[in-house]
């Protein structure tokens, strides 16, 4: 029953899409129909499979680095207010600077290919993890902090046994946001840092298909990239459920 509403919406969307293409006689190079996209998925399956693997590796690698760096930096910022005031504003630059403007710089530093794509993905995805980790650490109950002080717990013990568990729901929320941003960052970086040929990632295929008016192939690549992001988001949700479902069940009881 939970799957039925989204499935119906997707089916309705495909029907409307196909009807619009047929009724208005839209050319394939302007807007391919669902069957045209399906045909591209079949005819270019080998190329798309190889590109998906490369983009997925870059996306997941960048996401994992962003997750670790984000939790660490968010915890460091939570050490005290002075550290937060000094370091938090520079981290905002990671969110404010347009990726497409600095992606060529990563190519200069890391060269063409996966390394520059991973670096760009980290820059895009790390800020939500930092912000949510910091907010979660700040949300630890004052009475619990006071109890740790009375027990003369050290800074490490306080972080590990109080602040990090308290921040876990917020961290999971930040990871959910970072999962979606990771795909966006990877594809955007591949527009600049990707390369063509047999080893081309999805971003390079999208750019190349636009130049050759293979709009059906472009739609197929965009669809697969969306599925990569959806899968990564689902994995984060699963991990969050495994970590938090007992706590939620307890609070409901």
First to last CA, the chain: 25
Torsion sign over Cα 69, 71, 74, 79: negative
Q: How many domains does the chain have?
A: 1
Q: What percent of the chain has pLDDT over 70?
A: 95
CATH number where 122 lies: 1.10.3720.10
pLDDT digit string, tens, across residues 95-132: 777 777 788 888 888 888 788 899 989 999 999 999 99
Would you place residue 173 in the very low, low, confident or very high pLDDT band (cuts 50, 70, 90)? very high
User: Rounded to two decimals, what is the model's pTM?
Assistant: 0.87
Q: Which pair of structure tokens corresponds to residue 100?
A: 């497409």
73 Cβ contact list (under 8 Å, min separation 6): 87, 91, 126, 130, 133
Kindly report, residue by residue over 189-238, the tens digit of the pLDDT: 888 876 666 778 988 888 888 888 889 999 999 999 999 999 999 999 99
The answer to whether residue 35 sits within a structural domain is no
Residue pair 194/204 in contact by the 8 Å Cβ criterion: yes
**Is 62 a residue whose pLDDT tops 90?**
yes
Question: What is the torsional sign of CA 44, 50, 53, 54?
Answer: negative
What's the token pair of residue 160? Answer: 């590990």
Range of the domain at 166: 48-240
31 located within any domain: no
N residues, the chain: 253
With a cut of 80, say whether residue 250 has pLDDT above it: no
Within a domain: 187: yes
């Amino acid at each position: 029953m939970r799957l039925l509403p989204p499935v119906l919406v997707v089916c309705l969307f495909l029907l409307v899409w196909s009807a619009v293409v047929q009724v208005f006689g839209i050319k394939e190079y302007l807007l391919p129909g669902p069957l045209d996209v399906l045909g591209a998925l079949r005819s270019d399956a080998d190329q798309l499979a190889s590109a998906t693997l490369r983009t997925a590796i870059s996306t997941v690698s960048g996401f994992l680095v962003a997750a670790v760096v984000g939790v660490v930096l968010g915890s460091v910022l939570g050490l005290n207010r002075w550290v937060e005031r000094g370091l938090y504003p520079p981290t905002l630059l990671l969110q404010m600077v347009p990726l497409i403007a600095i992606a060529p710089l990563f190519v200069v530093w890391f060269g063409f290919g996966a390394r520059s794509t991973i670096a760009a993905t980290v820059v895009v995805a790390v800020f939500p993890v930092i912000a949510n980790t910091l907010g979660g650490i700040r949300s630890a109950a004052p009475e619990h902090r006071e109890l740790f002080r009375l027990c003369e717990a050290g800074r490490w013990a306080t972080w590990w046994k109080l602040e990090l568990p308290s921040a876990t729901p917020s961290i999971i929320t930040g990871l959910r946001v970072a999962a979606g941003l990771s795909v966006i960052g990877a594809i955007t970086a591949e527009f600049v840092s990707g390369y063509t040929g047999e080893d081309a990632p999805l971003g390079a295929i999208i750019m190349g298909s636009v130049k050759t008016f293979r709009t059906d192939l472009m739609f197929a690549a965009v669809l697969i990239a969306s599925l990569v992001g959806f899968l990564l988001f689902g994995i984060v949700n699963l991990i969050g459920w495994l970590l938090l479902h007992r706590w939620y069940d307890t609070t409901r009881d």
